Each structure stands twice: as structure tokens, then as C-alpha cells.
Chain A
Amino acid sequence: MLNILILGLGQCGNRVLDAVNHEAFGSGGTFAKYYSRQKFPASVKTIAINTAINDLKGLTDTRAKDRFHVPHLHGVGANRTLGKKVFDDNKEQIMSEIDKRGSFELIFIVTSTAGGSGSSFAPLLVKELKKAYNAQIICIAVLPFREEGSIFLQNTAFCIRELVAESPNGILLVDNQYLKKYAGDIKSAYDKINTSVAMRVLFLIEALNSEMLMVTDLGDLKTVMNGGIGIGTMGYYEAGKDGTIKSAILGSFKPSGLLFPTNVYNEGARAMLIIKGDKKYLDLDLITKTVEELSTDVGQVFKGVLIKKGRPKVLSLFTLNSVPELERIYADAADAIRFEMDKREQSKKQLDGAFAHIDDLEPIY
């Protein structure tokens, strides 16, 4: 059985982690935690880490002992510089808390790239985890709404750069801005995004840890994540009443099922397809043929088939050769930084001008 650790950093990471814990209770709803046990498909440990204690208190399905508060007042205020210092100051406690959970073969780090605690902790944590554990580390990085402000954009820019620099086994992007259009209000969007990410993560874990008709394992995942620039995303599709397995597979590549806007057929480097459903729906010949067709466009495609009751569900995970959306984000981030710099310079000049009026004067009493 795979030993898996899921770390949720900062407010966003905490909530996605909470959604994972909630989904692990199955279909019991809000009160399932009072009478049911979580049914993770592998040996899964979760820790929510945050400097803001109120964010930790807001979690509902994560056990108290799995919430670790890094003591620094009430957060770092989206200041990554301060966040990094706080991490360094509390690095030993954080690693000790992780170490209590044992050893792992796969570690997920879920974080927003825009906030303070998560975006500053994530790259440093990747570095420390790589030193401490011989495990695959997959970062699930959540990109912010673009209108949230210039600080979040610049945080995203620097966070992703530092993450790539620390070379985790892979970075899976989740774009709030992209996913927002599939939900109504902001609250619903957040809930839906968190649930979507949680379902995909659990689907992936189940696939990696189960005996399958066609096997995908941790090695396959590592190979997929090594493809392209090491950055990818996930797609998902659940077949309808009259849908075929082919349409389900192709559906998981459609923009509506992706967590990040990309054209898989043009930008995909490697992919992994996990198909789950009742045996009567799983035509292996058709699956193999469809995957072969995809391989011509996407490159290496690993496939796994999991026999479970219900309609076919398909999880796609892939890495990309290029990420145009990231370029746009970095451009916007640069503009935002420059704008901030200019604004601050003008403000300073204005203040200096105001002070100049009394340069040669002394107070008279």
C-alpha cells in the first residue's frame, strides 16, 4: 500500500486539503465525520499548515491533530519575504510534525501561488522534503483570480519560478480564473474548484494504489511528470447515459474538464489516462485504439483501467511542452510590478517635495 502525504499550505491549500478529507468520507455529507471513517484508497496522511490560525479554525473535515499552526500572529499578509523567514524560523517544527506521520512514497503539496504563507512555504518545503524523503513530490499550484491584485500576481510569478527551481517531480496547475466561469459566484467557484481538485487527487491515488486491469503505477506517474517542462494539469470526464468509453476519454481532454486552460493536443508532452467504471462499459480494444490515436498528438500516453461499479469516469493527467497562459501571467505580473514601482517612486517624490518646503527651517517656540 502506498504511503501518501498531502500537505495543504496557506488558506487555499488548507481548503483544498479539507475538501480532500471531506470527499474521503464518501457520500455522507456534512455529518459523515460524526459517524463515519475516511476511506482513503491508500495510506494517506494529511496536514494543513498555516500561519493564520483563523484559516485553520475554519476547516471542517480535517482533524485537529492534522492542523499545524506556524505561530506568527495571524498570517504573513501576503508577504512572501516574511513568509520565507517564518518558515526558516519554524522549519524544524514543521518537519518534525511531518516526520511524526512516518515515511512516504508520494507527497502532494497543495498551495496557492498568490498568498503569503503557502506560496512562500511551498518552494522551501519542496527543498526540505527532497532532503528528508525519497519520495515523489507533486505540487498542486493554484493560480489566483487575475483581478485580485498586483501583489498576488507578483507572488504567483515568483512562487512558480522558485518552485520550478526546486525541481519537484511535477507541478500541476489549477487556475481559479479559468475555473471561475464554470461556477456562479465566487463562493461557489471556490467550493467547486476545491471539490474538483480533491476528487481528481483521490482518483489518482486510487489508481496508483489499486490492482487494475491495466496498470498505472508510481513509476508511470514519475515518467509522465518528467515530460515537457514538468508542469501539467489534470482533466476529468464522467460519461453520460449513452456515452461511449471513447467519448469519455476524449472528454477528459476537453477544456471543460481541465483545471488549467491549455490545448492538450498542441501543448501536451506526456499523459496518463485512468479509466474507471463497470466492466460492461470498458471495451479494452476501443480504449487501446483511442489511446493510440491520442498518442500521435500528445506523445506517450499511459493508461490504467480500474474496474468499479458505475458509469465510466476518466482522469487525465499530463505534462506540457509549453504554457502560454503562464507567459501571460508573467507579463501581467511584470506590468504590475513596474506599475507598483512607478507608483511608489511617484509617491516618494511627492512626499520628498512636501518635505522640501521646510528644508531650511527650524521650529520656533
Chain B
Amino acid sequence: MNSVRILVIATIFVFMLLIPVVVASGNDSYIFDNELQVNEGITIETSIHIEVVDVNRIPPERAKFRITSYQKPERTITVFREDGPQVNKYETYRGTSIYFDVIGVYSDSVQFSVSGPSNWRVTDYYDVETEEDLEEVADAVTVPKLKITRTLDIASVQQGQTVKVTFKIKNEGNGTASEIELDESTITGAYMEGCPASLNDIAAGATERVSYDLKIIDAEPGTYELNPTLLNYKSESGASYSSESTSNVLVIVAEEVLVPELGIKVTIESDDDVITCGDRFPAIIRIDNIGNATSGRVTIKSHLPDDVRVADGEIDPVYESIKPGDFVEYDVTMIAYEPGKHIIKMDVLWADAEASASAEFWAELSGFDKYYIYILAAIPIVLILLWLIKRRREYSF
């Protein structure tokens, strides 16, 4: 009886374990994917703390993480590179799972990813206070020294997009920094959203991370240098200090507008651009969509000289659409009747736009047309000559 109860409980336990995994797996996304040094940590959803304890590059490469979360005891796990995320799982008190995957191991850092529910975010970055740090604090003069580092989540942004700017402020001194004021300049056409003007006190050795969104509204495309961020603060004794970050480069590219753009080309096929009057000659018309969107209905309209006729083919076709990068090509056979210079003009019309192209060619009379008067004049002479020859032969014995 007891063994049956144990089996049922175990089955339920396994089932409960599997369900969240499956759920988490179905909606997983990266919560964190970056590099952390040893003794650095992140906080996910304000309750899950992950710290890098140790790295080892001697194969198999691995990293050791310390994980603490609400209502759960501290746990240390070792993750081997190339294990894959499903192997290294951590389950919270509420049964939600997150997964670890080590991507690269370096001398004193590790690049790893944490995946889990898609709506979870990293809420804090921090340094782990080692015992050595604590000892140094006890011995030092209480002077705060803030080091500010500014990072952009993307270095190139399109008009209309938002750049997340993160300040990492670390108090490398041994005193608490207070009355911290953050002076951040911006670029014309961009709007800072959620950028704090002042910060809370930062204790010695503590690290504070602050972020804001830089919305690119109507800034002109180009490469911008973001001026360093200035940090003014005071020590406990009231002394004033300042520090600044390095500058950053942000590239703003024009917002991509999806419009079709059609080009038309007319090619007259002849050996030397000279057509013989009355002879058929082919013309090839090609319409290219050089834009980045599919066109709507495309109408071709031709403008032919009065003496040029289409002998074969449809010269003014209509196309329902042309995809970007695609083209349509058709050919028609034409005849020019009069000598001289001819210009064939073709329009392509789509939406409210149009494009034109033209082709020139010369038409010349054929040899027969040029000389037919002489030929006509020569015919009776030749006939008379032939007649005379015939008669002479009739009388030659």
C-alpha cells in the first residue's frame, strides 16, 4: 500500500515537473544574453539573483553560477558549454523554470544566456561583494568615487526607433556618494524618456544601473557622437565630486519607406540602329520594379510616330502587380514606313506615379526603293537589249 502511494506521489511530482517545462519551453525567450565577469550578477524580475562564481576554460569549459530566489535556498550550479539550455534548468518557488546556456568562457568572464517566460526582464545588474571588498571598506577613508559607464543597446538605429541607454554607476570609493545629479545631453530630434536627473545615494562599492529610452523622433540620418554624461555628487563630508562617462557613437539611418518604383526601358533590335522602311523589326520593353514594395496595377502606354505601326504583339499591356526586384519584359514587332529619325516613347503608369523611356532609330529606304525609278527605266532598255540579242541569235547561223 505504501509503495503504491509513493508511486502515485512520484508520478504526480514528475508530472508537475514536466508541465512547467513544456509550458516554459513553448513560450521561452531570452531574458538575458550577454557577458558577465566573475563576481557580477543580474536580478531577474527583482527576485531571482544569478551571480557568476567561477569560470574554468580547461575543457570541458564551464561556469559556476550561484542562484537565489524567493522562498528557495541558495543553490550553486555548474553549466558546461554546449550542454544546451534544456539541460540546465532552475525552477522557482512558483514552479516557473528558467534555463541556462553557456555560450563562451573567457579568462574571468562568461557569456551566457538565460531564457524563460517572454515577459521576464533583467531588472538589475550588480557586483558581488567579496570578503576582500568588505575588508577594504573598513580600512579606507570614506571618499566616494563614482565611475559611470554608458552603454547603448544598439549602435545603429532607424528613425522612429528607440535606443535603450543604460548607465552603470559604480562607487569605487570607500564612502557613500550622495546628492548625485546626472547631466545627460541629447541630440536634436531625439527625445529622452525616463532619464533621471538625480540618483539615490550609492554606498561604497555598490553599483547602480539606470536606464532610459532615447526615442529618435525626427533626427536627421547620420552619425552622431553622444556627449559624455556628467555625474555630480557629494561625499558624506559634503565635498563635491564629479565624473563623466566616455562618449558614444550612434548612427541614425533613414526610416525605410516601402514604395514601389518602376523603371521602363525600350530596346530596338537592329544591327546598327538603322531600320529598313517596310521591314519588320522587334522592340523589347522591360519594366523593372526597383522599389522595395510590390506595385499595384501597372499600365503601359506607348507613343508611336505616325508612320510606325505595330505588326505583331500587344504594345500597351496591363500588369496586375510587379514585385520588388522583379521585372516584366515583352516584345512587339513594328514596321516603320517613312525614312528619317523616329522616337518611340513609352510610359509606365502605376498608382499616382509614372516613368518614361524612349528609343531612337533611323529608318532608311531599301535599296530597291531608292533605285526603283532607275530600275524601272532600265527594264525597257534591258528588255529591248534582250529582244535585240534574241533577234540577233534568231538570225545568227
Closest to A63 in B: B394
A33 near B391: Cβ-Cβ < 8 Å: yes
Contact digits for A23-48, partner B, Cβ 8 Å, 1 yes 0 no: 00000000001110000000000000
Contacts of A34 in B (CB 8 A): 387-388, 391-392
The reply to whether the CB of A64 lies closer than 8 angstroms to some CB of chain B is yes
The reply to whether the CB of B395 lies closer than 8 angstroms to some CB of chain A is yes
Contacts of A59 in B (CB 8 A): 397
Query: Which applies to chain B's interface (DSSP): helix, strand, loop or mixed?
Result: helix
Contact digits for B357-397, partner A, Cβ 8 Å, 1 yes 0 no: 00000000000000000000000000000011001111111
A60 near B397: Cβ-Cβ < 8 Å: no
Closest to A48 in B: B397
In whole angstroms, how far apart are the Cα atoms of A67 and B394 in the complex? Answer: 11
CB contacts under 8 Å to A, within B266-298, are: none
In whole angstroms, how far apart are the Cα atoms of A67 and B388 in the complex? Answer: 20
Contacts of B391 in A (CB 8 A): 33-35
In whole angstroms, how far apart are the Cα atoms of A57 and B396 in the complex? Answer: 7
Contacts of A64 in B (CB 8 A): 393-397
Most buried by A among B387, B392, B393, B395: B395
In whole angstroms, how far apart are the Cα atoms of A294 and B397 in the complex? Answer: 47
In whole angstroms, how far apart are the Cα atoms of A61 and B394 in the complex? Answer: 10
Contacts of B392 in A (CB 8 A): 34
Contacts of B394 in A (CB 8 A): 63-65
Contact digits for A42-78, partner B, Cβ 8 Å, 1 yes 0 no: 0000000000000011011111110100000000000
Contacts of A63 in B (CB 8 A): 394-395
Distance of A203 from chain B, by nearest CB (Å): 24
CB contacts under 8 Å to B, within A142-190, are: none
In whole angstroms, how far apart are the Cα atoms of A193 and B394 in the complex? Answer: 26
Closest to B396 in A: A64
Contact digits for B197-208, partner A, Cβ 8 Å, 1 yes 0 no: 000000000000
Distance of A53 from chain B, by nearest CB (Å): 8
Closest to B393 in A: A64
Contacts of A35 in B (CB 8 A): 387, 391
Contacts of A62 in B (CB 8 A): 395
A33 near B395: Cβ-Cβ < 8 Å: yes
Contacts of B396 in A (CB 8 A): 64
Most buried by B among A34, A59, A65: A34
In whole angstroms, how far apart are the Cα atoms of A67 and B397 in the complex? Answer: 8
Give the number of chain B interface residues (Cβ < 8 Å).
9
In whole angstroms, how far apart are the Cα atoms of A59 and B397 in the complex? Answer: 8
Closest to A65 in B: B394
Contacts of B387 in A (CB 8 A): 34-35
Closest to A61 in B: B395
Closest to B389 in A: A34
Contacts of A65 in B (CB 8 A): 394
Contacts of B393 in A (CB 8 A): 64
Distance of B230 from chain A, by nearest CB (Å): 120
Contacts of A33 in B (CB 8 A): 391, 395
Distance of B378 from chain A, by nearest CB (Å): 19
Closest to B394 in A: A63
Closest to A21 in B: B395
In whole angstroms, how far apart are the Cα atoms of A56 and B392 in the complex? Answer: 15
In whole angstroms, how far apart are the Cα atoms of A173 and B234 in the complex? Answer: 167
Contacts of B395 in A (CB 8 A): 33, 60-64
Distance of A340 from chain B, by nearest CB (Å): 36
Distance of A18 from chain B, by nearest CB (Å): 10
In whole angstroms, how far apart are the Cα atoms of A233 and B42 in the complex? Answer: 155
In whole angstroms, how far apart are the Cα atoms of A34 and B388 in the complex? Answer: 6
Most buried by A among B393, B394, B396: B394
In whole angstroms, how far apart are the Cα atoms of A65 and B395 in the complex? Answer: 8
A57 near B397: Cβ-Cβ < 8 Å: yes
Closest to B392 in A: A34
In whole angstroms, how far apart are the Cα atoms of A57 and B392 in the complex? Answer: 13
In whole angstroms, how far apart are the Cα atoms of A57 and B397 in the complex? Answer: 5
Distance of B346 from chain A, by nearest CB (Å): 61
Contacts of A57 in B (CB 8 A): 397
In whole angstroms, how far apart are the Cα atoms of A65 and B396 in the complex? Answer: 9
Distance of B332 from chain A, by nearest CB (Å): 55
Distance of A17 from chain B, by nearest CB (Å): 13
Most buried by A among B391, B393, B396: B391
Distance of A234 from chain B, by nearest CB (Å): 28
Contacts of B397 in A (CB 8 A): 56-57, 59, 64, 67
Most buried by A among B393, B394, B397: B397
In whole angstroms, how far apart are the Cα atoms of A275 and B394 in the complex? Answer: 35
In whole angstroms, how far apart are the Cα atoms of A61 and B387 in the complex? Answer: 16
Contacts of A67 in B (CB 8 A): 397
Most buried by B among A56, A61, A63, A65: A63
Distance of B147 from chain A, by nearest CB (Å): 124
In whole angstroms, how far apart are the Cα atoms of A57 and B391 in the complex? Answer: 15
In whole angstroms, how far apart are the Cα atoms of A294 and B391 in the complex? Answer: 47
In whole angstroms, how far apart are the Cα atoms of A65 and B392 in the complex? Answer: 12
In whole angstroms, how far apart are the Cα atoms of A63 and B387 in the complex? Answer: 15
Closest to A69 in B: B397
Distance of A10 from chain B, by nearest CB (Å): 16
Distance of A98 from chain B, by nearest CB (Å): 18
In whole angstroms, how far apart are the Cα atoms of A16 and B370 in the complex? Answer: 53
Closest to B388 in A: A34
In whole angstroms, how far apart are the Cα atoms of A100 and B271 in the complex? Answer: 61
Contacts of B388 in A (CB 8 A): 34
CB contacts under 8 Å to A, within B302-346, are: none
Contacts of A60 in B (CB 8 A): 395
In whole angstroms, how far apart are the Cα atoms of A33 and B396 in the complex? Answer: 12
Q: Which 3 pairs, one residue from A and one from B, show the smallest C-beta to C-beta distance? A: A64-B397, A34-B391, A67-B397
State the B residues within 8 Å of A (CB). 387-388, 391-397
Q: List 20 A-B contacts (CB under 8 A).
A: A33-B391, A33-B395, A34-B387, A34-B388, A34-B391, A35-B387, A35-B391, A57-B397, A59-B397, A60-B395, A61-B395, A62-B395, A63-B394, A64-B393, A64-B394, A64-B395, A64-B396, A64-B397, A65-B394, A67-B397
Since A33-B391, A33-B395, A60-B395 are in contact, a sample of 7 more A-B pairs with Cβ atoms closer than 8 Å, ordered by chain A residue number, is A34-B388, A35-B387, A61-B395, A63-B394, A64-B394, A64-B395, A64-B397
